[in-house]
Structure formats: structure tokens, C-alpha cells
Amino acid sequence: MTSFYQPEDASAAEAIAAIAEDLALFDDWMDRYQFIIELGRKLPPYPVEWQDEAHRVKGCQSQVWLAAEQSGDKLYFTGASDAAIVSGLVALVLRVYSGRPQAEILATPAKFLHDLGLIGALSTNRGNGVAAMVERIQAMAKG
């Protein structure tokens, strides 16, 4: 599972709270964008052979790929994008959802993206894309 994102927070709710704290450290969105880009650079390597149509997230302006692996009752995700800011958004979404039980994934709607101000700060296409990532993760959790 080396290319799958390992959770650093005990729950999705704790991950969302930690992300909110991290974003609050910055006074403006340019600094937040830089922080998000740095998160994307720290993503685990995404296998090149998974950069295909089967793993591509539809609805994203950039190329985005997601894959899932189940271990026990938990789902682990990995993802990548060809755009720096989107890779960072992938990292944020994986921090919330990867390594969680299916029920917790399904009980954590994309509303946190609005609550954190991410949707309002992104272009409409990027906002739609990050919402599409969450929809894809939740669809994977449904089985």
C-alpha cells in the first residue's frame, strides 16, 4: 500500500479541522494556494500504469486520477493530477477520506470544501473538479 495515502488524523472530522487550522495560518489566498501546492508535492507516487481512462475523474478541468484499495473495513486512496494546484487539492481530499471505513466516507459530504472556503476561492471549473473527486471517492465507498 505504499502509493496509497496513509491517514495522519484519527477521523475525517479531525482531518477537516486540521486542514482548517492549517489554512487559517495564512492571511491571503495566494499563500494558501502555495501551501496547497506544497501538499500536492508530498503525495505518494502514483503508478504510471493507473494514469488511464478507468482511473480518470470525469468533470475535472485538469487530468486527475484516483484509485482505491480496501484493507479490512477501510478504503485507502491514491491520486494524482497533471496540475500543481489540483495535486494539492487531491492531497486535501485524500487526507479527509483515505484510510477511513466506508460508512465514515459516506457520512462525510463534500460540504467541508465550502466550509473551508475552498470552493469559493477556486475557479468554477476547479471547484467542480474537486467536488467530482469527492463524488468519485464516495461512489467507490458505496461499492
Catalytic positions: 60
SS3 2: coil
SS3 60: coil
| CB proximity list for 17: less than 8 A, separation 6 or greater | none
Encoded amino acid at 106, one letter: L
Can you tell me which residue has the cell 487559517? 24
